[in-house]
Structure 1
Amino acid sequence: MNRFGPLLGRGIERITASALGPYQTAVVRIGFAATWLLFLLRELPHRLELYGPDSPWNWDMAQRLIAENDAFTVLMWSDGRIWFEAVYALAVLSSALLMLGWRTRTMSVLFMIGVLSLQNRSIFMGDGGDNVIHLMATYLVFTRCGQVWSLDARRAARARVEPVEPVDLGRAAEPVDKVGPVLWWFLGLGLAVVTFMGELSGGWLMVFWGLWLAHGLWWAVGRRAPHGEARRLLDVIVKLAHNAALLVIMVEACLIYATAGWYKIQGSRWQDGTAVYYPLQLDYFSPWPALSDLLASHGLMVMLVTYGTVAVQVAFPFTLFNRRVKNVLLAAMIFEHAVIAVVLGLPFFSLAMIAADAVFLPTSFLRRVGGWTARARGALFSRFSRGAAVPGQRGADEEPARESTEHARVGFPS
């Protein structure tokens, strides 16, 4: 029993002292926000038929269904065209800003609202990837997904290097954040109006008011006592929430593959090795008929892909205990989803699954990718601008902020 005491202590210290997986959560944030944004932009000409007033699943039918399952969607607050366009525009804007990492705490909530509102309005629109986005949009709210590769990280790095005049000799100097408080008050006013009109009730009312109050409390404590006991306690709670949400994301990805693999094992077409052949014969899943016919004409290839898909999906959750095997299967699954995107014409399903897979990517690999991207971006920008480099820019893009100063100096919660 004494042997497990130090291990348990180190484990508790680790999950309370730092927000784990900064690069992984950043990739998940960018991946899902980009996937949803690209989907919304592609369906922009068809938005009214998919989720709006012209949808075959009309407003009355959606209202009756939501009255039974209590799903959340702000599109049920009004059946007007203007309201729908406003919600759709909010979904596009929040996706773009979350992808860039601007005020990630706020944008993650607005991103979740946009995803749930549109998907719950017309539940029959989607290809499977929408279910993954639906779940991950909720989990991202509880993560600190803007620690690296975000505008928030860049703003925090600049705040650490730029001199700031002290306001009070008794406490640390902090940069004045004007955008955060205005955004917080504006959203609070909107939430109050919606609550007064009776559009929100029950659990969702508590969730949104709780998030709004938690963000305000974080900022207030940070301004009054950035290094006090209350701030340290809140910091521990935030890190615990982040690490718990990160664990849920990982477990969710494993469950998706495990259930898919075990259900495939029970199917006769997967057992005889011919399951992949049939989708290749459907016009809906054949954007490149010549390519589909070429693959379907090779029986050995069809059999290998069929059995290989089942083996990879069933085995993946068990390979997490071996890093090398996990990385090999992870690369195989990402390649498989890339092939599905091209051959079967399911790009957004594949992008959503690749974004979910990214939570398991090694930190060393992600850091190298970040370095390559930063150098490529620097080389590109140097051709158009010869201005001086911004202090702290490199650190904001490549290194997570130090835990001891990251939140105390950023200012208002974003």
Structure 2
Amino acid sequence: MSGSTVTRARTREPFDRRIARAVQAVTGRALGPYQTAIVRIGFSLTWLVFLLRELPHRHEMYGPDGPWSWELASRLIADNRAFTVLMWSDGRLWFELVYGLAVLSTALLLVGWHTRAVSVVFMVGVLSLQNRSVFLGDGGDNVLHLAAIYLVLTRCGQVWSLDARRAEREAARRAAARPAGEAVEAERRDLVGPLLWTVLGGFLLATTWFSDVTGEWWLPVLLWVLWLGHGLWWLACRLAPGEPRTLLDVLANLAHNAALVVIMAEVCLIYATAGWYKIQGSRWQDGTALYYPLHLDYFSPWPALSELLGSSGIMVLLLTYGTVIVQIAFPFTLFHRKVKNVLLVAMMLEHAGIAVLLGLPVFSLAMISADAVFLPTAFLVALGAKAARGRDRLRGRRSAGTLPEQRRTGEEHGPRTLVG
């Protein structure tokens, strides 16, 4: 059947049937599993790089030795009601504990270990540190701030995570014929989830106790809803795996898909507003806007490269106008796949150039992570397959290096023995 025939058949399809198919698509599964996974990896990697890079300066930036003192932060937070657990105490030990948990939760979210619980701890760490010294942030911190909240609502551990690998192993174990004792072992392995749930419940009790210094009311309410929802999910999976679990699965898919749409809308809004504001500036209109940051010492980690690029008037003109055109045009190209992919590559290259030329790597990583939500699924699947082949090849080399007698008899045992 040709494409035009399929289009005419869908046009003649009753309206209620089309609505039912659309509802099934939204509620039946979590859309964009690879896109949400790459967004999770990108933002967690960005925040982890920032935390580790600023580890020697953490006390001056967010801790008790900073110019923005605990008293000043308390007065500001009393007005803007921002959420931060660092306002619970001004002690150095409490700050070290919060900073350490922020680093740990970010690393665990990066590898996808119990992403439902870890994403909540990741969000608390991001909000607590950024809201403690809000004047230190830039555009990349604002994007990360919002993305940390949205990731809590997504099912971002479906692929490329330790959770996905554990789910595959559990499915393979159920499919195979197994003795009765192995089912008990599988139940014991799931004790980590209830333990995390219990620990986070204690944290929520503390959050409620300190509600007068933790910010707006909606964030503790969101945390309680997530905590109770995870507990209800665990009970449904073990005691009522039928319709109750299906209903919870539908609600989780709806929250995931809604958060995914919000992330996409946020990226489009960022580029649209940035482009339209640039149009109103006289330096962007005459094509000389990029000349000035290239000649500022503060934004010149490679002075020779900045001087070389800034000395070409034509290059500065093309980059200035190209930046405005790409940012304004991108939201209008979402329904044209090929043009959208071209502009997406252009924007990622633009942010990579900002990281190198202007010395803003964290900002660029945050924006590239946000742009990744629009990457095509075929490209991400191919990227994941190539990474898996590289991992298997690396494991094979390690096995061959540690087992020389197996390497000599590789013709007899085959490659699977060498890999292990």
* Correspondent of 1:178 among 187, 191, 204: 191
Distance in 2 (alpha carbons) for counterparts of 1:7 and 1:281: 57
Say whether 1:47 aligns with 2:62.
no
Secondary structure of residue in 2 paired with 1:162:
helix
Match in the other structure for 1:214: 229
The answer to whether the 8 A contact 1:159-1:175 is kept is no
AA of the residue aligned to 1:189: G
Question: Partner residue of 2:103?
Answer: 92
CA contact (8 A) 1:166 1:173 kept: no
Where 1:287 maps in the other structure, the secondary structure is: coil
The answer as to whether partners of 2:123 and 2:149 remain within 8 angstroms in 1 is yes
Please give the per-residue CA displacement for 1:136-167, whole angstroms capped at 9, x wherever unaligned.
00000000000000000000001111255559
Q: Distance in 1 between matches of 2:193 and 2:314?
A: 59
- Matched residues in 2 for 1:31 and 1:15: separation? 25
**2:112·2:163 contact (CA, 8 Å) conserved in 1?**
yes
Which residue of 2 is the match for residue 246 of structure 1? 260
Q: Distance in 2 between matches of 1:173 and 1:12?
A: 39
Structure 1 residue 3: Cα displacement? 4.6
C-alpha displacement of 1:244: 0.2
Match of 1:191 among 183, 186, 204: 204
Deviations 1:335-389 (A, max 9, x none): 111111001101010000000000000000000000010000111111223699x
The 5 Å alignment of 1:211-360 reads 211-226=226-241, 228-360=242-374
**In the aligned structure 2, how far is the partner of 1:190 from the partner of 1:50?**
25
AA partner of residue 217 (structure 1): L
| SS in structure 1 at match of 2:134 | coil
State the alpha-carbon separation in 2 of the partners of residues 304 and 202 from structure 1: 48
Q: Secondary structure of 2:349's partner?
A: helix
Per the alignment, residue 144 of structure 2 pairs with 133
Relative contact order (alpha carbons < 8 A, sep ≥ 6): 1 or 2 greater?
1
Give distance in 2, aligned partners of 1:249 and 1:79: 35
Q: Distance in 1 between matches of 2:29 and 2:219?
A: 29
- The corresponding residue for 1:375 is 389
CA distance in 1, matches of 2:209, 2:74: 21
Count residues in correspondence: 385
Q: Which has the higher helix share?
A: 2
Alpha-carbon displacement from aligned partner over 1:201-227 (angstroms, at most 9, x marks no partner) = 83232222111111000000110021x
Show the 5 A alignment for 1:22-37.
22-37=33-48
CA deviations 1:225-245 (Å, max 9, x no partner) are 21x111111110000000000
Question: Is the radius of gyration larger for structure 1 or structure 2?
Answer: 2
Contact preservation (8 Å) 1:166, 1:174: no
2:411 alignment counterpart: none
**TM-score normalized by the length of structure 1:** 0.89
1:12-42 CA-partner distances (Å, limit 9, x unpaired): 1100001000000000000000000000000
**Correspondence 1:148 to 2:163:** no
Paired residue for 2:417?
A: none
Match of 2:171 in 1: 160
SS at match of 1:124: helix
Match of 2:6 in 1: none
Amino acid at match of 1:294: L
How much does 1:188 deviate?
A: 1.1
Counterpart among 116, 126, 151 of residue 105 in structure 1: 116
2:219 aligns with one of 158, 179, 204: 204
Partners of 1:217 and 1:180 in 2: CA distance: 13
Moved over 6 A (4+): none
Aligned partners of 1:192, 1:166: CA distance in 2, in Å? 39
Matches of 1:278 and 1:189, distance apart in 2: 52
Matched residue type, 1:88:
Y
* Shift of residue 298, structure 1, vs aligned partner: 0.2
Query: Hey, what does 2:88 align to over in structure 1?
Result: 77
**2:236 partner amino acid:** V
